A and B are shown apart, each in its own frame.
Chain A
Amino acid sequence: MSSALASSTKFRTFAVVFAIAMAVIYVVSELVRLPLFSYHPDNDRFDFGWVSARKDEGPAMHWYGWVATSLIAATVLGLLATLLPERVTSKIPLSLTWIVPVLLTLFLIYSLSFFWRW
């Protein structure tokens, strides 16, 4: 199983697209408030999509929802990419798998500027 995956060009395509899509979709879902669900830890309640904290009910958590959104969407995109012909998928630069997360890290540092204050 593991050696079959390691020699599979389709798995390579999936992995490349998954890596790029996961980072991009995670950042986009965070920026435009697209978590799959919101979790309210004080009363253990889940809501679909983005729901703000309610008065006297403690904070709302969206990180789990962002992770879920990006995992599902990146998996779907990765699987769809495996349907494309190899002559197309082999042209996706491997270097994008680390360049995209590095660039998005810089963007995230900027986007967190609310916290960089004295």
Chain B
Amino acid sequence: MQTVDFLFDYIAVETFWTILLIIHGLLAVALLGALTHQAMAVAMPVRYAGNDSFVTRFRAVLGPRYADAICVLWIITFMFGAWIYIKYRIHIRVPIEQQGYWKTLGVFELKEHLTTFGIGLLPIYWYLWMNPKHPAYDNARKWVTVFLAATCWYAFLIGHIVNNVRGYAS
């Protein structure tokens, strides 16, 4: 933390952590959008042209084009999450424990675990998407992507809930 101490001459400590949280949230939004498009495309592929509904267009994206961005976004979002986790542990979690919101803490613990599983899946996820025409990879590609998308949605929503229970500026 000493490396960013000079910032506190210009902004309040709470403002600094809130900015980091917002960056983490914005990165998560980008990741969520990309992963949801890709998961829809791979789980419910468009098999015929002609239906021009919103849902059809939503899932009619080229999945492989998202893979690089999703890997980079997952890693950066994870790193920002790991950074603000320090502040969470001292200033957010302790008061939540004192207030007895155990389920809130539990679902956040699960978020930590699942996003770490996601880090482990990134190399195989990337490999599977870099070989989109390999039929033997279709099933694994679909379910790895769906798992990552479900994890991302879970992490995003739980992050919001915890922030609502006690945000950084509380």
Contacts and interface: CB of A to CB of B under 8 A. Distances in A.
Contact of A14 (B86, B112, B123): B123
A42 B90 contact: yes
B147 to A, nearest CB: 5
B137 to A, nearest CB: 7
Contact of A58 (B90, B107, B113): B90
B116 A26 contact: yes
A15 B90 contact: no
Contact of B147 (A11, A18, A42, A102): A102
Nearest to B121: A19
A118 to B, nearest CB: 8
Nearest to A97: B124
Interface string B81-123: 0100110011001100000001101110110111011011101
B121 A101 contact: yes
Contacts of A23: 117, 120
A43 to B, nearest CB: 11
Interface in B128-154: 128, 130-131, 136-137, 139-140, 143-144, 146-147
Interface in A1-18: 2-3, 5-7, 11-12, 14-16, 18
Contacts, number: 113
Interface string A14-32: 1110110111001100100
A2 B116 contact: no
Interface string A70-81: 110010000000
A98 B119 contact: no
Nearest to A2: B130
A67 interface: yes
A80 B19 CA distance: 42
Contact of A15 (B1, B82, B124): B124
Interface of B: 1, 82, 85-86, 89-90, 93-94, 102-103, 105-107, 109-110, 112-114, 116-117, 119-121, 123-124, 126-128, 130-131, 136-137, 139-140, 143-144, 146-147
10 contacts: A11-B127, A16-B124, A18-B120, A21-B120, A23-B117, A26-B113, A59-B90, A59-B93, A64-B82, A117-B103
5 shortest interchain CB distances as A-B pairs: A115-B106, A22-B120, A6-B130, A15-B123, A15-B124
